[in-house]
Structure 1
């Protein structure tokens, strides 16, 4: 089955402009076109768009996604380099997750203070001076 750019945009919560930009930047070099020049996406293309979105959503820069796409096009000779890219990116994602976890704990502690200000004031003293 083939999909239009509008269908793919809706499926991934992207704008058609974003998909065209990704294509223009070389992130989707294999996307087919109809005789009239419209982009057409296959099932395999949807998997690739999903990967591009994953990499972008986890903080990989467009130029690095482009590098990854270029390596994929070069075939199996680049599999080790692609793997290393993903291993390094995974480390960054884990770091981001740890930072988010720490931030969430701080937010949760503030919510707990606001939910029971009397108890918090007994524990911490004057809330006007200790919380925001």
Structure 2
């Protein structure tokens, strides 16, 4: 792993925009970003590791405020590991609840798909309002 990464390398690696990267900086998810002698921003390996986790948490709907608090715990040092564990466990529980909710919604959608396939399987000449009302 390189010691430093350019914004372009970060954007390419994580698949988000430069604006998103700057937003994460403004929101305090990264420590103070270093500058190369040329004045260009450059990111440390520790920034890349944190961004990898931030992306995972953000993709699973962790709010920015909670992400910021988590990033502050990471920067505060190893003595915050128990608190970080609590944050991640709580997020995992919320995520499991959300997945269960989405699976139930998916089941309802599949049920409706099966119903509509049944309606389409009826003879084209049968347009029973009673059958269509149940859809």
Which TM-score band (shorter chain)?
Answer: 0.7 to 0.9
Shift of 1:94: 0.3
Render the CA deviation track for 1:102-132: whole Å, top value 9, x for unaligned. 1111111122222232668xxxx9332111x
| Other-structure match for 2:131 | 127
Render the CA deviation track for 1:69-106: whole Å, top value 9, x for unaligned. 11111111111111111111111000010011111111
| Other-structure match for 1:107 | 109
Match 1:67 to one of 35, 45, 69: 69
CA-atom RMSD in angstroms = 2.0
Shift of 1:3: 2.8
Match 1:51 to one of 43, 50, 53: 53
SS in 1 for 2:23: helix
Match 1:81 to one of 80, 83, 93: 83
TM-score w.r.t. length of structure 1? 0.84
TM-score w.r.t. length of structure 2? 0.82
Distance in 2 separating the partners of 1:106 and 1:49:
36
Shift of 1:7: 2.5
Render the CA deviation track for 1:8-67: whole Å, top value 9, x for unaligned. 223222110010010111101154321233222344432211110111111111111111
